[in-house]
Amino acid sequence: MSAIRRGYSALYLRYPRMLEELAIGRGDGRLARPMNAWSRAEVLMLDDFLIRPISPDAASDTLEVIEDRHGLRSTILTSLSFMDRANGLIITGPTGVGKTYLGCALGMEAIRQEYSVRYVRTSDLIERLTLARADGSYRSLMANLRRLDLLILDDFGLSPVSVSSSRELLA
């Protein structure tokens, strides 16, 4: 992982194990111990994220962990289960921690599982959509994009986007 090569501290944890540790910590009054350990890692990778349905308490605990780290550290949730439910996935974190690398890794795994995938920088997609509107190929382009199982938009929010461009992205 590029974050480790760049000297960031990273912690790998299976999501079901994290939920188990949270439940044990709540039960014995030692919740602060795992929370402190997870907050010190600059990158926390949670594997097998949401491979099974979770309780409202587990969802609340997960949000607490992520919120505790928000803005200070990166939290990476990995699993392709979001695709099975037709949900989106947002990867956030400071520059250089490997968000693009992770997005591409998820894309490669999706390809291995025979999903159709396309990676594109958001600014390039906006430009393509604008040109397609102008040359009459917009419907064809949108049909191609809708057929994809996974569309990876990199550098989303890196540059200001006009109102019309944001409408193009959300169409």
Summarised one tens digit per residue, pLDDT across range 79-101 is 666 676 666 677 767 777 677 87
Segment of 11-25, 115-129, 155-169 carrying the highest mean pLDDT: 115-129
Instruction: Write b or e for each residue in 8-17: b if 16 or more Cβ atoms lie within 10 A of its Cβ, otherwise e.
Output: bebeebebbe
Q: Please give the structure tokens belonging to residue 107.
A: 């894309």
Is 66's pLDDT higher than 50?
A: yes
Taking residues 122-142, what's their average pLDDT?
92
Confidence of residue 65 (pLDDT cuts 50, 70, 90): confident
Confidence of residue 4 (pLDDT cuts 50, 70, 90): very low
Q: Where are the domains of the chain?
A: 1-86
Helices (H), 6-137: 15-28, 32-40, 56-69, 81-84, 99-112, 122-135
User: What's the chain's average pLDDT?
Assistant: 78
The rounded distance, in Å, linking the Cα atoms of 55 and 70 is 22
The rounded distance, in Å, linking the Cα atoms of 165 and 149 is 22
What is the predicted pLDDT for the residue at 74?
63
In the 8-state DSSP scheme, what is residue 38?
A: H
Q: Hey, what CATH topology would domain 1-86 get? A: Rossmann fold (3.40.50)
What is the predicted pLDDT for the residue at 1?
45
Q: What 3-state class would DSSP assign to 146?
A: helix
Helices (H), 70-98: 81-84
What is this structure's pTM?
A: 0.55
Q: What 3-state class would DSSP assign to 58?
A: helix
Taking residues 134-153, what's their average pLDDT?
92
76 with 43: CB under 8 angstroms? yes
What is the predicted pLDDT for the residue at 75?
64
Taking residues 108-129, what's their average pLDDT?
88
Taking residues 133-148, what's their average pLDDT?
93
Taking residues 16-41, what's their average pLDDT?
82
Taking residues 122-128, what's their average pLDDT?
90
Amino acid identity, position 138: Y
**Residue in the block written with tokens 């037709």:** 86
Position with higher pLDDT, 122 vs 169:
122
Q: What 3-state class would DSSP assign to 159?
A: coil
Is 50's pLDDT higher than 70?
A: no
83 with 149: CB under 8 angstroms? yes
